[in-house]
Structures are given as C-alpha cells and as structure tokens.
Structure 1
Amino acid sequence: MIIGNTSTSWKFFSWFFALALISPIVVMLVGSLNNAGDLFSHLWATVLPEYIQNTLVLGVLVALLSFCFGVPAAVLISQTNIVMAKQLRWLLMLPLAMPAYLVAYLYTDLFDYAGPVQRLLRAWFNWQSPNDYYFFDIRTLGGAAIVISLVMFPYVYMLTRTAFEQQDRNLLRASRLLGCSERQSFYKIALPLARPAIAISLTLVIMETLADFATVQYFAVNTLTTAIYDTWLGYGDFGAANALASVLMLFILFVVVAEQRARAGQRHQSSRPNANQERKKLSLTQQIFGSIFCWFLVLAGFLLPLTLLIIMAIDYADYPQLIALIATGKNSLEIAIYSATIATLIALTLALFHRLHQSRSRMIPLQISGFGYAIPGTVLAMAMLATFGPLDHAINDVAKGVGFQAPGLILSGTVFAIIFAFVVRFSAIANGTINAGISQIPKSLDLAPGSLGVKTLPAIFRVHLPLLKSSILVAWLLVFVEAMKELPAVLLLRPFNFETLSTQIYQLISDERLEQGALGAILIVLFGLLPIIFLNRQKDS
C-alpha cells in the first residue's frame, strides 16, 4: 500500500519547502527587534497611534459593511425564491475580479466636485459653488471602507451561501415541529450554524483590508501599510519600516487567533445536508426590494466600474498605449505563470505528503506553508528584502574573495524576489484548493495501488493526479489571478525599469491619468474573471 509511505526524501523536501516559505518572515521579525532605530521611536511618539487607529477603524468598518452586504445576499440567494436567483448566484461573485484601487479611482472621478454627477446636479438645480449644497466626500476613511467592502463582500457571500446550502434541513423542520416560527428557526438554527463560515470570511476580509495599500494611499488615509511604504522609501529607514511591518504582522496574528477562538467549539455543517431545500416564498414587494439590493451590489461592485473603464478605453486608447500594454502585460504574465506553477507544485507535494506519508508530523509543513496568506504584500516585501539583501551581499563578498566578479543583486534585485514573495503569499490558496480535492478521493484508492504492486510515484501519476486535475487547475487559476492583481509586493521589489500591469496602472492613477491605462485595467479584470467563470461552469456541469 502507498498510504504508509516512509520516503525520507519526500519528507525532506516537504519540510524544506515549508521552512523556505516561512523563513523570510522569521528573519524580518527577528531583525525588527534590534533595528527599529530612532525614527521608529519618533513615529511611535507622534503619528503612529493615529495610523494604528485608522487601520483598526478601517478593518472594523469594512468587516461590518461586508457583513451587511454579503450575509443578506447569501440569504436571499440560498433561502428565498428571489427573481433571477440563478443569474445573481454567480453575478454576486464578480466584484472579486475588480481591484479596489481601480474602483477607488473610478468612483472618485465619478463623484468628485469636477465629476459628472456633481456637474449634473449643479446644472439641474443651478448651484454655483460647494457652499450651495452638501455632497459626500468619497476620499475619506469612510469612503475607503465603502469601496473596499464593495469588492470584498463576495468572500462573505460565497462562504455564507455555501454554509446555508449545506445545512441539514431536517434541523429546521424539527424546530418548526417544536413550535418555532420560520423567522425563529432561521435566527436560532440556520444563522448560528453558518457562524463559522461567516467568521472565516470576515477574517479573510479583514486580512485583505489590512493588506490594502493603493486604495488607502490614493484616498490619503494613513494606515500601517502606507506608513511602511513612506518610512522606507520616503525616509530611507529600512529598520523602522521593518519594525512597522512587524506591528502590522501582530495585528494580522491577532485577527487570525481571534477568529479561531471565536469559532472554537462551534458546530459546523452536517455531513448529510438535505438537497431538497424549501425556499421561503417572498411577496412581490419583498422580491422587488431583494432584487434591487442584489443588483445594486453587482452594479456598484462590478458593472459600473467596468463600464467606466470601457468608456475610457474607447475614448483614449491609441497605438502607443497598446505597445506599452504588450510589454507590461508580458511581464505580468511571466511572473503570474511562474508563481502559479511553483505554488501549485509545492501544494501538491505537501498535500500528498500529508495524505500518504507515515510521518506523525506530516500536517505541520502544510500548515506552515499556508501562513503567508495572512501577510500583507507590503510586509512580505520587507521580509524578502530583509532576507535576500544580506544574502546578496554575502554572495558578492564570497565572489570577490575567490577572485570572481561580483554578480550583483541576483536575489533581491531581480524578479526572483517577486516570484518568491508571490509563492509565499498565495501558497495557502493552492494548499486549500488541492487539499480539498484530495479529501474528496476515497481512502480505498490510496490502498488499491499497493495491492496491485504499484509503487507510490506511479500510483500518484495514475490515480491521484487524474482525479485532482480539476482541483489543480482551479488552484493554478486562483494563484495566477492573485499574482496578476498583486500590487504592494511588486511595487517594492521590482527591478529598475520593470513594470507590470498593476504597477503601471498604479502609477497612472497616482498621476490622475488612469484613462491611459484603461486597457490594462480591463485586462486585469478579465483575468480576474477566469476562475469565477470556471468555477461557475464546474458547478453547473
């Protein structure tokens, strides 16, 4: 049998991959204890408390808004007979394909004083100046929370909807027999059973919010991510930036631990969900309001921003932009392909090691390698520089010592650092997807090859990999899309004269010239749609 494999080389490589992925974080945390410097003390005494407060308030606001958007949408789609539920089921996932910083710029351009909305209002009501009327300012902390939540709520929607659909309906029927009303059954049975999924999704939302850089910087909201960027590139103090990154890491760790403790001991979904769901029949008025709510989320989070981008591309696109797009698009594709391929291969190695190896500690490498997803791109970039910078200098010193020419910054000054950072950050996505696929394979198929005299490696290629083909593709697509959209890590780690679609669009947004990068922005969005389309087709097939 192959389920009790004892290969030492497999064990070695599994632990090697896991420790390699976590080592930059350890190096950064250890280095931050001694290299904070005077600037960090000055920041702590002056502006850092405000940055921490803004970070906490932003995380809480985005979590609350995502909850208010995602949970009602999940209830309407999974529990009621709302009109066009089949279409809205996947349309509500589309905002995930839209980077928050794009939505921030587009809505600022739309709702600003010089934007078309306020110009139209002034023309209609003959207002002459801002003193004549009140209009909300989107470039605030509250505006940033709204924009981020519009593209993050699908996390809450998808996990909560799945939780509702996997509940055993017999529990709800039993509560009705005991005298509970339909509303009481929902609040006392269905919603508490969905709490673990809601907690996990809100944790993902908070981690993504704490990792956001471009949106808060464009809105001039000072958070820890902007402080890290400004401290290093503005003040040139890598030690202080490293210390700030460690503070942000502590926030992330607190969120993860709090989420795990909050759902400890909670009951999860039944392993025997009833497929025959009884949907609540809404009145015509309720269906209208429910449909308006869901379509508003789709429109505000995806359709309106995409329409604005298409209009910009039509009005401003030209041949030089297309040439520049090809060059930056090629860079983005190369990095994303390498990162997705490496992360998927490592995830396969660790997941199969956990499933088939006899080692008692076989779960630990899988857990360690997934820790990187909780680390913001800005922090990850600092970890890469803290690790590979000294290694580069050591390599150069050794080369000089033996009489060779110094090779330069071959680790921290090339795309190697970007790809390594992406693999660290997105390995958790690949791990989770492939591990979920492996859990669906019956254990008997692990035993069958051994009874036929087939060794481990041939059995994996003949049995497990064909069955995991769909999970491998999904994992690869998810990492590929995340790598295409990632901005902070690339912004800090890119070599000189190296641009990707995300960094090019960020620079254009910073210069208020997104119109010239509208084609690239549309390309990022289209790539982001790939896993959503694939998963939806897979669900329907």
Structure 2
Amino acid sequence: MHRAPGAVAYSLLLVAVALPFATLLREMFAADATGVWLHYASTVLPGYVINAVVLGVSVALCASVMGVACAWQVERHDFPLRGFLAWALLLPMAMPAYVAAYALTDYFQFSGPVQSWLRATFGWSKGDYWFPEFVSMPGAIAAFSLTLYPYVYLLARTAFAERGAELFEAARTLGLNRRQAWWRAALPVARPAIAGGALLVTMETLADFGTVSYYGVETLTTGIYRAWQNMGDLVAASQLAALLLAAVMLLVWLERRGRDRSRYANVRARGERMRPRVRGIGGWLRTAICAVPLLFGFVLPALLLLRLLARDWSSVSATAVATWTRNSLWVGCLAALVVVTLTLMLNARARLAREVWALRVERLLSFGYAVPGAVLAIGVLLPLTWLDGRLIDWSKQWLGVNPGLILTGSVLALVYASSIRFYGVAASAVSAAYARLPLSLDDSARVLGVVGRAAFLRVHWPAIRRSAFAGMLLVFIDTLKELPATMTLRPFNFDTLATQTYNLVKDERLGEAAFPSLLIVLASLPAVALLARAQSSKPSRRDD
C-alpha cells in the first residue's frame, strides 16, 4: 500500500505529458478534418514541406562541416589562440538565430553600411554589382548554421578527445596518409556523435519561428502560427503540428537506430595526450578556420547589436525593457524550478526506493525535448482552454463568482509547456550526476541508518547539486529564448524579451530591438561558460 501515492503521482505525470499529444490527435480526426487537410495539401502544404526539408538538411550539413572542422583542429593540433578558441567556439550558443538574423541582415542588406560604402566608393548603382541577398533561404541557412554549429562542435570534440585522435595516430603508423587516416579511422568513430549533434541542429531549425518568419521562408512552423493566430483555423493548425511532430519523431528514431547499430570499443588514452604544435602559415590557417564561425556567429552580431543600440539609444524605453525582463525572469525561473525539482524527485525515487516506474516516466519526459515549441503550444492550449471553461462554469454554479481564465490567463500554461519541452535538458545533467555516484554510498548510508529523505539530503545532494544547478541554468536559458510557444501561450499584455524582440524587428524598429536582444545574449552567457568549463576540464598536453 505504501507504493500507492507513488503510482498515483506517476499516473498524473503520464497524463500531463500525454494530454497535449492526445489533443492533437483528436483535432486531427475531427469531423471536418479531411476537407481542411485536402485543401492545405493542394495549396500551401507542399511548399511548407519542401522548404522545411531543404532548410533542415542544408543547416545540418553546414553546421556539421563547421562543427567537425573546428572540433578536429582544436583536439588534434596546437596552434595560435587555440586555448581561447577552444571555449569561445561555444559562444554562438548564446546568440539566438533570430537575433543574429536581423543584426547581420541590417548590416549587409542593400541599404546597410557595407553596400552603401561599396556604392559610394566605386560609384556603383543598383544592378552594377552582385551581392548575396540575406532575406532569402540561403540567408536563413547561414543564420542557423552560424548559431547552431556549437551543438556539433561540442559532441564531435568529445568524441575526438576520447577515441578519434588516438585511432588517427594508429592509422598513420599503419601507413595511411592523413586523408585516409581521417576518413577511415577518425571520422567513423565520431559519426554517432556528429549525427546526434546534427539531429539537435535539425530539431532546433524545424522548431524555429522567428528566423524563418523574418526571412520570409514558409515552413511548417510558420504555417502553424499563421493558421492558428491569423486565420483562426484550429483544425489546420493541429494537423500541421501533428505533421511536424511526426517528422521530428522520425528523425529521432532514425538517429537512435543508426546509433544502436554502431558499436565501438572505448580506446580512451590514459593520462594526457600530446598535440603537435603547428607554427607559421599552417598554424594561422587553423586559427582562421576556427575564428570565422565565431566571428560571424557571435562577435559580429554582438557588435552590430551594440551599434544599433548606440544609434537609437534614446528610443529605448527603460521601463518597458524592465517589464519584459521581469516577465522573462519570472517564467524562466518557474520553469527551471519545476523541471529540476521533478527530475530530482524521479531520480531520487528510482535510486532510493528502486522504483522502475520512476525511470520509465523520466525517459518519457526526456523525450519532450524533441517536440517543437509550436507543436506543444497547440497541444497545451486546447485542453487548458477547455479546463478553464469548466472551472468557470463550476465556479459560477456553486460559488457565484467568475474567476476568469486561471490556466490560460496566467503563466501556468507557458510554464507547463516549457517544463515538458526542456525537461530533458535538466534530466540529462542530473541523471549523469547520479550515474557517477557509486551504489556503495547508499549501502553505507543505509547501514548507518540514513535512509529516505535524509539519505538524499546528506548523501546525494552534496554530490549532485552542481549538476542540478547547471540543469536549472540551462532550462532557464532555453525558456528565455523560446519564441513560438511563448508567443502562443503568454497571457494578454504579458511580453517577454523574446516576444518583444520579434515584434520590434517585425516593425523594423531594429534599434529598439537591440537592447532586449543583448539582454537575452547576456543572460545566456553563464550557461555557455558552464559548458565551456566542463569541456576544458579534459586533460591535454602539447608536443613541444
């Protein structure tokens, strides 16, 4: 009987996770769903799908090339500025793609400083020269690739540090040249990690709304938002959301299937590894390879934001920015607190009470990271709107009071969606920390009479608190940058840094948008610093 409360809690968690997706399925098979689906399939749906496929594949390839190239240079060689670039290459993770998009576009577009200088210097006019058009599909691919390549870089560098460099050297001693050793030894063992990073990049690209909307690229995400917000077509929005969810789930399944088929022995070298030092032109060439993505993915957009802010500083409303910041901090802190508390409870129950269901619920919740924000927003809003209606009816009937919209009229819906969306971010950190704790600690505590909550507070918590804080920080940052779910689920007159950045950019008020954009970047930097610190803790040694 003592397990009954736990079973009820797990059942409630499962219902909370399954409810949005069950709602989407219900709307898909509504009475008028077939006619709406046929209409969209014969008009805009093919364009949505083609653009999504082209964008996702192109960004995954470009980000993988940049991430793998930088990871290999950093792990394989010692070159000028390597120590700085090794951690600085993660900085573009702090720059949302939609922020980099409008900053770079403003600088390089026809009326921007670069093309204006070219026309003034060489006497050119429109049509006399060619310059890349940023407001286009290639521009969106560039913005995504430059800000998302750190996902591939982080995982590929770890793989190269553990196996790739040693196998490369072994292949060289067997007579293979550098190119052959790279293709036949180093790259294959890192392929699962690269595929995992490319999958994350693809999911982030497919889930984005701000960048594709600014560049005018019609994808499934923009179609969902347009059908729901502009046309009020709930069935169409639900069907597009279900299609996007199915595409993402297929990608996750393909990646996991490929990873399960790959089996590699762990040949991690013991102790420190030696890196050959590269001097002269070769060394600076490697510096340039790593510096270019950092320059265009973080340094230049940040400088351009400062330039825009300095130019239009007087138009910025300090009061409004303070309100947006407070709202963003409020939602981010609530989501981070809910997620970390939940993952700590599930991991602790699985460890201390040996409850298998806790781990199963944990894995199911972690799968929410693969669900785009636009999909979750539709799935969360529909059942909560229905529940709000029932609560209002009940309150009027029994209490004679209209309480208003309790769930959808507050930040609860947004926190609910963010908790499902980003649970896997914190869970991975906490689960990894628990995996490092030997079971002998629990046995020793049990012998001393320290069990249950006391064992968690006195034995587990001191060892996992740093990982829990890291997970909390990562969830906070992801919630801060989330745009499609926030725009759909936020209460009336509740603006955040992300939503106002998008609204100001949409109205071409770029100078005013620079300040909230910079605040998002600054708030994201602590999480990036945490990742960089963890990555740089791996031992290494130069070959002098």
Shift of residue 183, structure 1, vs aligned partner: 4.1
- The residue that corresponds to 1:397 in the other structure is 393
CA offsets 1:402-454 (integer angstroms, 9 cap, x no match): 35223222112221101111111100101111111111111211211111111
Q: Tell me which of 51, 59, 81 is aligned to 1:84.
A: 81
- Alignment of 1:464 with 2:447, yes or no, is no
SS of 2:115 mapped into structure 1: helix
Q: Tell me which of 413, 420, 432 is aligned to 1:436.
A: 432
Shift of residue 399, structure 1, vs aligned partner: 2.3
Separation in structure 2 between the aligned mates of residue 271 and residue 515 of structure 1, nearest angstrom: 52
Letter in 2 for 1:92: L
- The residue that corresponds to 1:304 in the other structure is 300
Separation in structure 1 between the aligned mates of residue 166 and residue 96 of structure 2, nearest angstrom: 41
Shift of residue 364, structure 1, vs aligned partner: 1.2
Contact 1:418–1:490 (Cα < 8 Å) also in 2: yes
Q: Tell me which of 57, 61, 66 is aligned to 2:63.
A: 66
Contact 2:315–2:512 (Cα < 8 Å) also in 1: no
Letter in 1 for 2:17: L
Contact 2:90–2:532 (Cα < 8 Å) also in 1: no
Shift of residue 507, structure 1, vs aligned partner: 0.6
Separation in structure 2 between the aligned mates of residue 104 and residue 174 of structure 1, nearest angstrom: 43
Separation in structure 1 between the aligned mates of residue 199 and residue 107 of structure 2, nearest angstrom: 31
- Alignment of 1:500 with 2:533, yes or no, is no
Report how many residues are paired: 535
Q: 1:243 to 1:170 in 2, by over 3 A?
A: closer
- The residue that corresponds to 1:483 in the other structure is 479
Separation in structure 1 between the aligned mates of residue 371 and residue 34 of structure 2, nearest angstrom: 23
- The residue that corresponds to 1:275 in the other structure is 271
Contact 1:211–1:377 (Cα < 8 Å) also in 2: yes
SS of 1:279 mapped into structure 2: strand
- The residue that corresponds to 2:519 in the other structure is 523
Separation in structure 2 between the aligned mates of residue 535 and residue 296 of structure 1, nearest angstrom: 21
Q: 1:5-154 to 2 correspondence within 5 Å?
A: 7-34=3-30, 36=33, 38-128=35-125, 130-154=126-150
- The residue that corresponds to 2:418 in the other structure is 422
Contact 2:164–2:186 (Cα < 8 Å) also in 1: no
Separation in structure 2 between the aligned mates of residue 274 and residue 318 of structure 1, nearest angstrom: 58
Letter in 2 for 1:315: R
Q: 1:483 to 1:117 in 2, by over 3 A?
A: same
Q: 1:83 to 1:496 in 2, by over 3 A?
A: same
CA offsets 1:192-248 (integer angstroms, 9 cap, x no match): 111111111111000000001010011111000000111111111111111110011
Separation in structure 2 between the aligned mates of residue 79 and residue 15 of structure 1, nearest angstrom: 49
Mean Cα deviation higher: 395-404 or 437-446: 395-404
Contact 2:501–2:513 (Cα < 8 Å) also in 1: yes
- The residue that corresponds to 1:248 in the other structure is 244
Contact 2:164–2:189 (Cα < 8 Å) also in 1: no
Separation in structure 2 between the aligned mates of residue 39 and residue 168 of structure 1, nearest angstrom: 51
**Over aligned residues, Cα RMSD in angstroms?**
2.0
Q: 1:282 to 1:272 in 2, by over 3 A?
A: closer
Separation in structure 2 between the aligned mates of residue 115 and residue 9 of structure 1, nearest angstrom: 62
Shift of residue 319, structure 1, vs aligned partner: 8.0
Separation in structure 1 between the aligned mates of residue 120 and residue 165 of structure 2, nearest angstrom: 55
User: Identity of counterpart residues, as a percentage?
Assistant: 38
Q: Tell me which of 350, 354, 366 is aligned to 1:354.
A: 350
SS of 1:460 mapped into structure 2: helix
Separation in structure 2 between the aligned mates of residue 95 and residue 384 of structure 1, nearest angstrom: 30
Shift of residue 22, structure 1, vs aligned partner: 3.4
CA offsets 1:323-381 (integer angstroms, 9 cap, x no match): 11111111111111111011111111122233333334443111111121111111111
Q: 1:348 to 1:263 in 2, by over 3 A?
A: same
SS of 1:512 mapped into structure 2: coil
- The residue that corresponds to 2:509 in the other structure is 513
SS of 1:264 mapped into structure 2: helix
Contact 1:160–1:197 (Cα < 8 Å) also in 2: yes
Gaps of 5+ in 2: 538-544
Separation in structure 1 between the aligned mates of residue 323 and residue 412 of structure 2, nearest angstrom: 19
- The residue that corresponds to 1:3 in the other structure is none
Separation in structure 1 between the aligned mates of residue 90 and residue 167 of structure 2, nearest angstrom: 29
CA offsets 1:448-496 (integer angstroms, 9 cap, x no match): 1111111221001101011001101100100011111111111111111
SS of 1:167 mapped into structure 2: helix
- The residue that corresponds to 1:265 in the other structure is 261
Separation in structure 1 between the aligned mates of residue 279 and residue 165 of structure 2, nearest angstrom: 22
- The residue that corresponds to 2:447 in the other structure is 451
Shift of residue 400, structure 1, vs aligned partner: 2.9
Q: 1:332-411 to 2 correspondence within 5 Å?
A: 332-411=328-407
Shift of residue 180, structure 1, vs aligned partner: 3.5
Letter in 1 for 2:98: Y
SS of 1:441 mapped into structure 2: coil
SS of 1:304 mapped into structure 2: helix
Separation in structure 1 between the aligned mates of residue 77 and residue 142 of structure 2, nearest angstrom: 27
Q: 1:170 to 1:316 in 2, by over 3 A?
A: closer
Separation in structure 1 between the aligned mates of residue 66 and residue 491 of structure 2, nearest angstrom: 40
Q: 1:453 to 1:415 in 2, by over 3 A?
A: same
Shift of residue 76, structure 1, vs aligned partner: 0.4
Contact 1:17–1:346 (Cα < 8 Å) also in 2: no
Shift of residue 9, structure 1, vs aligned partner: 3.3
SS of 1:81 mapped into structure 2: coil
Separation in structure 2 between the aligned mates of residue 271 and residue 356 of structure 1, nearest angstrom: 33
- The residue that corresponds to 1:326 in the other structure is 322
Contact 1:163–1:269 (Cα < 8 Å) also in 2: no
Mean Cα deviation higher: 317-326 or 267-276: 267-276
SS of 1:468 mapped into structure 2: helix
Q: 1:418 to 1:60 in 2, by over 3 A?
A: same
Contact 1:19–1:368 (Cα < 8 Å) also in 2: no
Separation in structure 2 between the aligned mates of residue 271 and residue 8 of structure 1, nearest angstrom: 46
